[in-house]
Amino acid sequence: MRLLTLLLTILALACLDGGLGAAVADPIRTGASTLVFSERHPASAYAAMEQRWKWPTTTDYWKQGGYDIAGESFAAYVPADYDGTRPYGLVVGFSNRDEGAVPSEWTPVLDRHALIWVGANQAGFSRNAQARLALALDAVHGMTTRCAIDPRRVSVCGGPGNAGRQANWELITYPDVFTGSIAIEVCDYYVSFPATPLAGMYSGFLTTPDSAPLALARTRRQVLLCGTQSANHLAKMRGAFAAYQADAFHRTSMFEVPDLASGQTPSAAWFERALRFLDRPLRWTSPQGGTLLDTLERAGFKNVKGRFGPGKAIKPALSDLQAKVERGGAPADDAARTLAAVDGWIRAQVLRCTELSKRRPAQAIEELDAFIATVRGLPSEAEAAELVKTLRADADVVQLGKLRAKVRSLLGNLDQQGRIDPLLKAQAALRAKLGELKAAVAADAAVAAEIEEILLDL
């Protein structure tokens, strides 16, 4: 009897420890593979989803997304260094195509950041949206039964195209499952918002938003990423970003990728930049104590009426941080995080100045010049400098237009007074000066054209 009791005890301990439980699922292997799961996520059942989403009962569309999990397959990628001894993060992928594999150029990024990828196959845009959303939940459940997954690093990534919208929906509706999202090219705000100040509305995706999930979603990080050559999507994403910011989703960021067109996959560098944002601590504190605002103040920023601006001490403070990073050692990590925090804040200010320039371009240029003068060496310096260059070129065109009008007026007045002949020499000198100016700005076709028109007037 004692022997039987001992054997039963050993069996129970083995089950609790996961020794026997591990045999339920096939052992995970590194690299790319195709997986089939035997269980669904508790939240992916239709009744549970209907309760969470509060779908209209008048439509049968959502009810047509049923499926058998045993008949679904998932594309997975596990970094070669994964051995189960420490938990890895998880990225659940959405695609418009019927394949869930990670883009091949992104796999080195997953390796560097200790992230596993999984995406449902046969879950393209043509499939019922309820099924696509449910399969993402099943992917999380299936991978957590096979791998050591860090629940603080479970994100969803979708796009380009409407798959980005699915990632956006998933995070806002299931912030208890996902801690971050990357929506590429397309995203939505959860309720309808104006397309423009004068006409039209963009539709939301929650008919009756639940305050509890929304409160948790506001603590999650999400990246809205769109190419500058995707004009229609970019305008909507900017609007959605502004709506999230106004609604206290302060951990939402927007990245605009230069020259990326509609339907194109972002480069590995941009994917990594998005992941770094998702991996930032939600409430960062340094060894000296305090939050990000305290860090900005220590780095030389000053709080003026609730808005931070560059103070006199920021340049030497940042130089000191950069020196610590270069020296390495224990202080380097803390210094690098401080620099990243300051850089992220500067990027937010560049975005704010972009909007400010539409109303007060001179003020936007002045603020950007102040940032550029103090953030040498940070990635945000290039973004600020590029915006200033564009704003100055626009201002030059305006000023040259005013100069042209003034010259025309002057010449007209002098002609009426019969005094134009004595000014021919001055006119020749002016033409020579404008010719020099035209040569100096030859690289800017728009400005050169304005000068040419003035020369023709002369």
Quote the CA–CA distance of 65 and 176 in Å, as a whole number: 22
Q: Of 251, 279, 307, which residue is a domain's last?
A: 279
Rank 4-13, 409-418, 426-435 by mean pLDDT and report only the highest. 426-435
Render pLDDT for 167-218 as a digit per residue (tens, 0 to 9). Answer: 999 999 999 999 999 999 998 888 776 654 444 556 777 777 777 788 888 8
Of 337-341, 357-361, 386-390, where does mean pLDDT reach its minimum? 337-341
CA 320 to chain centre: 29
Determine the average pLDDT of the residues in 353-377.
Answer: 73
Residues whose CB is less than 8 angstroms from the CB of residue 101 and which lie 6 or more positions away in sequence, other chains included: 32, 75, 77, 93, 119
Is the same domain home to 239 and 375?
Answer: no
> First and final CA of the chain: distance in angstroms?
114
Outline where DSSP puts E strands in 67-147: 74-78, 88-94, 115-120
Residue 391 maps to a domain: no
Q: Phi first, then psi: what are they for 303, rounded to 5°?
A: -90, 110
Task: Answer yes or no: are the C-beta atoms of 164 and 185 closer than 8 Å.
Answer: yes
Compute how many other C-beta atoms are within 10 angstroms of the C-beta atom of residue 352: 13
24's tokens:
């339920």
User: Are 92 and 5 spatial neighbours (Cβ–Cβ below 8 Å)?
Assistant: no
In this predicted structure, what is the pLDDT of residue 222? 93
The fraction of the chain above a pLDDT of 90, given in percent, is 26
> Which of 168, 174, 175, 212 has the alpha carbon at shortest distance from 190?
168
**Tokens standing for 131?**
């099924």
Whether 433 and 346 map to the same domain: the answer is: no
Where a domain ends, among 386, 408, 423? Answer: 386
Question: Is 441 within 8 Å of 447 (Cβ atoms)?
Answer: yes
Q: What is d(CA 173, CA 210) in angstroms, rounded to the nearest whole number? A: 9
329 in a structural domain: yes
Name the amino acid, one letter, at 406.
K
State the residue for tokens 């696509």. Answer: 132
- 437 belongs to a structural domain: yes
**Residue 262 pLDDT > 80:** yes
Does 246 share its domain with 312? no
SS3 content of the chain, % helix, strand, coil (to 5): 55, 15, 30
Q: pLDDT band at 313, cuts 50/70/90?
A: low
**Last residue of some domain: 342, 367, 386?**
386
Q: How many domains does the chain have?
A: 3
Tokens describing residue 328 = 């390495």
Q: Single out the residue of 96, 78, 98, 75 nearest to residue 88, CA to CA.
A: 78
| Cβ neighbours of residue 293 closer than 8 Å, sequence gap 6 or more | 303, 308
Alpha helices in 127-265 (DSSP H): 129-146, 162-173, 211-217, 231-246
Give a yes or no: residue 8 inside a domain.
no
Bigger pLDDT: 193 or 383? 383
Range of the domain at 405: 397-457
pLDDT, residue 450, reads: 67
User: Could you tell me if 146 and 49 are in contact, meaning their C-beta atoms sit under 8 angstroms apart?
Assistant: no
Residues 357 and 441 occupy one common structural domain: no
* 381's tokens: 């310096």
CA-based R_g, the chain, Å: 29
Q: How would DSSP label each residue in 235-296? A: HHHHHHHHHHHHTT-TTEEEEEEEEEETTPPPPHHHHHHHHHHHHS-TT---TT---HHHHH
Average pLDDT rounded to a whole number, residues 319-330: 67
Peptide bond into 361 cis (omega under 30): no
Helix (H) / strand (E) containing 301: strand 301-304
**Residue 117 shares a structural domain with residue 222:** yes
Q: Is residue 110 part of a domain?
A: yes
Please report whether residue 153 resides in a domain. yes
The token pair at 108 is 């080195």
Give residue-wise pLDDT tens across range 325-351: 667 665 666 666 666 666 666 666 676
Rounded Cα gap, residues 368 and 390, in angstroms:
12
Residue 142 lies in a domain: yes
Q: Look at 94-108, 147-161, 312-326 and tell me which has the smallest mean pLDDT.
A: 312-326
Residue 340 shares a structural domain with residue 426: no
The dihedral sign for the CA sequence 43, 46, 47, 49:
positive
Report which of 220, 118, 231 is spatially closest to residue 178, judged by C-alpha positions.
220
Phi, psi of 168 (to 5 degrees): -60, -45
CA 52, 56, 61, 63 torsion-angle sign: positive
Statement: residue 409 has pLDDT above 90: no
Same-domain pairing of 119 and 253: yes
Please tell me whether residues 167 and 101 are part of one structural domain: yes
Q: Are 264 and 296 in a shared domain?
A: no
pLDDT of 144 above 90 = yes
Q: Which residues contact 392 (CB under 8 A, 6 or more apart)?
A: 365
- The pLDDT value recorded for residue 315 is 61
Phi, psi dihedral angles at 409 (to 5 degrees): -65, -45
Closest CA to 286 of 347, 348, 339: 339
Residue 382 CB contacts under 8 Å (≥ 6 apart), including other chains: none
> Do residue 349 and residue 420 come from a single domain?
no
Task: Identify whether the C-beta of residue 171 lies closer than 8 Å to the C-beta of residue 222.
Answer: yes
In angstroms, the CA 160 to CA 155 distance is 16
Same domain? 196 vs 334: no
Contact 72, 137 (CB under 8 A): no
Looking at the structure, tell me whether residues 377 and 403 fall in a common domain.
no
Rounded Cα–Cα distance for residues 125 and 311 (Å): 50
Question: Residue 211: how many CB atoms within 10 A of its CB?
Answer: 7
Mean pLDDT computed over every residue of the chain: 75
Highest mean pLDDT among 276-285, 379-388, 399-408, 419-428: 379-388
> What CATH number should be reported for the domain holding residue 192?
3.40.50.1820
Q: Which of 41-50, 245-254, 273-282, 357-366 has the lowest mean pLDDT?
A: 357-366
pLDDT at 104 over 90: yes
1 falls within a domain: no
